[in-house]
Structure 1
């Protein structure tokens, strides 16, 4: 049985250690000298660990009182870790961090983060108590990624590991971040290489002409042309629906790309203020008319939801099934068949648009070009102003680009 004097006299060592009391209660002494009361208990057939508080702020009698309160909760069928933090394994700490952080991420990014942890980290150290994990163990995990040539992935994973341990420190569950200094022992990141993109208008025209001759579905060729004319991201075109188009027969035709499909923080994705507005040039309207002739008239779009949740026939550029968008790799494969593999990728149209128009129109057009690409302005005041204006300037820009590209 532990005494108050023994708890006070405990001196830190090179490694963390425990001084046991009874009933599952023990004093945890970290190498930094921090002491905390912890309680081991079992629930659902699994051993769990509850942090009761720090010593000497929480005395031994107080810690024993909290132990008895926790035992009473267990007898009542309750988990004493609620609402207190539960500290069992690194995986549980990581998932707690993930639940805290995911609100600020897009769904795709959140899925990537948890999938990478489940694939590359949890199998190695997921069942370890976070307080016992040392830097060399983390370096082994990251070294496995580096050995597979995933240098950048390893770099991002170190940042996430550090964020997880930092979350534990902020919650008072950990004393240190063993991932903090790992970058000094990791392989240097390779210089970033820009995506292949054509930067001469003649080459851009040649690519589109080659695509027209290539063996591909009409929907894929049209989606490629529309992507080139609007310079948006590929996912925006793939997910494009007829109901997003406005005033097609009027003087100011417009495509309103929902914020949910834009590259934004998750908090902005459900806010219509962050929809991206794309004025449609004559050439872009021509592509849409051709796309409408491939399937159902957009004015007669059926609204019955398909079993996968999509509105039937609502995609402008539908895949073979007619109820899902064209494949993610369809346009890239088209460019390869057209003889432009390694020279241009779908995302490259954004570089083509920016480079060619900046060179053609000069520095006065730079802000309009950036807004057309949905790049954020430099200040919040400017951003608010730009949301309310500048559409006419952007419309002139897209008309100029369409005429240059399709000449």
Structure 2
């Protein structure tokens, strides 16, 4: 039988003096304290791996690692050995996991996910998503490892957005947080998605349309338009009228070049690349839009052509004719008419179509 080693005492450890060569003070079970010539005292454990080869574990230096701590680590290592595991391999794997967790914070994974999605988004969409993360999520949970984040952490970050009344932004952030965690799971960086059911606990948001008047308010709006047209430039007047006649989006109207319109035949064809669905990165709709120009609309365009027909745009920007008119021009016109907050430029035609 192997000789039983008496356990170390605190006094032995305290009185252990350095010698010319390193020496050991055994505590039993493979654990010993190595005293170096420089006076260092380091805990070691000698053991045999499951394959029979001898190996050593390093538990740290005394007194940072006490005698009690060293014995607890020895017992943990012996339990692993009894289960057929190599404590050194387990230790190395735990260290690897810790390094990976430290490297894969929520912010780092979110930025990586964002980068992989750029080809599927419009540039403005990509900017908006990253901006919202930077403003509302990264300051809260950005530095936490994705493996450590709990549902409560994500909820607290989203609740802060809700408290300022931005319910739509909160809902979108919840969805994008969930997408980041799903990406982490698929990449093997996390095992679960703590934001999976987050939208179910958010405050419900009211769904609605952009500000618009009803059918009953249309006659009054037309009277206000007639009364204020004298204060508008011709391009703004024509734009306001055309919005009521041709049912196109504001951007599709004010960004129209004269090259798209044939004043002789009354044809207006908007290329699919300028249409909202044509701008999609994935499966764009490549159908050109043929605008039905009524007689009144053609009259308006011919009037406008006498003023701006020598340039590129139907509605050039007053400060820079090389660019089209800003949407703010129509919004300011509506504001002067007394419709601020009641209408937007894009929905003018919706009111008239009801």
TM-score over 0.5 for the alignment? Answer: yes
* Equivalent residue number for residue 266 of structure 1: 281
1:142 aligns with 2:155: no
Q: Return closer, same or farther for 1:117/1:227 CA change in 2, 3 Å cut-off.
A: same
Maintained 8 Å contact 1:207/1:340: no
Maintained 8 Å contact 1:257/1:278: no
Query: Could you list the per-position Cα deviations for residues 306-337 of structure 1 after superposition, in whole angstroms to 9, with x for gaps in the alignment?
Result: xxxxxxx4221112121222222221221121
* Equivalent residue number for residue 226 of structure 2: 209
Q: Residues 163-312 of structure 1: matches in 2 within 5 Å?
A: 163-192=179-208, 195-200=211-216, 202-213=219-230, 215-245=231-261, 247-250=262-265, 252-263=266-277, 265-269=280-284, 273-297=286-310
Between structure 1 and structure 2, the one with the greater Rg is 2
CA distance in 2, matches of 1:314, 1:5: 80
SS, match of residue 94 in structure 2: strand
SS, match of residue 254 in structure 1: strand
* Equivalent residue number for residue 347 of structure 1: 346
1:115 aligns with 2:113: no
TM-score normalised to the size of structure 1?
Answer: 0.59
Deviating more after overlay: 183-192 vs 107-116: 183-192
Maintained 8 Å contact 2:257/2:314: yes
CA distance in 1, matches of 2:135, 2:340: 31
Maintained 8 Å contact 1:240/1:317: yes
CA distance in 2, matches of 1:229, 1:8: 83
CA distance in 2, matches of 1:192, 1:253: 34
Query: Could you list the per-position Cα deviations for residues 265-307 of structure 1 after superposition, in whole angstroms to 9, with x for gaps in the alignment?
Result: 32245x6x2332212222222222222222352xxxxxxxxxx
Q: Return closer, same or farther for 1:261/1:4 CA change in 2, 3 Å cut-off.
A: farther
Aligned CA-pair RMSD: 3.3
Maintained 8 Å contact 1:253/1:280: yes
* Equivalent residue number for residue 316 of structure 1: 314
Maintained 8 Å contact 2:107/2:138: yes
Report the alpha carbon displacement of residue 180 of structure 1 after superposing the two structures with TM: 2.0
Maintained 8 Å contact 2:308/2:315: no
SS, match of residue 116 in structure 1: helix
Report the alpha carbon displacement of residue 21 of structure 1 after superposing the two structures with TM: 4.9
Query: Could you list the per-position Cα deviations for residues 117-158 of structure 1 after superposition, in whole angstroms to 9, with x for gaps in the alignment?
Result: 122222332232211222222122112211211112111110
Q: Return closer, same or farther for 1:259/1:167 CA change in 2, 3 Å cut-off.
A: same
CA distance in 1, matches of 2:204, 2:163: 13
Report the alpha carbon displacement of residue 211 of structure 1 after superposing the two structures with TM: 4.0
* Equivalent residue number for residue 80 of structure 1: none
Maintained 8 Å contact 2:315/2:324: yes
Report the alpha carbon displacement of residue 160 of structure 1 after superposing the two structures with TM: 0.8
Maintained 8 Å contact 2:334/2:340: yes
Gaps of 5+ in 1: 11-18, 29-36, 41-48, 51-85, 298-312, 356-407
User: Paired residue for 2:142, among 112, 126, 130?
Assistant: 126
Maintained 8 Å contact 1:228/1:349: yes
SS, match of residue 277 in structure 1: strand
SS, match of residue 222 in structure 1: helix
Q: Return closer, same or farther for 1:8/1:230 CA change in 2, 3 Å cut-off.
A: farther
CA distance in 2, matches of 1:162, 1:7: 40
Q: Return closer, same or farther for 1:129/1:339 CA change in 2, 3 Å cut-off.
A: same
Q: Return closer, same or farther for 1:4/1:289 CA change in 2, 3 Å cut-off.
A: farther
SS, match of residue 348 in structure 1: helix
Q: Return closer, same or farther for 1:149/1:224 CA change in 2, 3 Å cut-off.
A: same
Maintained 8 Å contact 1:259/1:276: no
CA distance in 2, matches of 1:282, 1:6: 87
TM-score normalised to the size of structure 2?
Answer: 0.67
Gaps of 5+ in 2: 1-56, 59-76
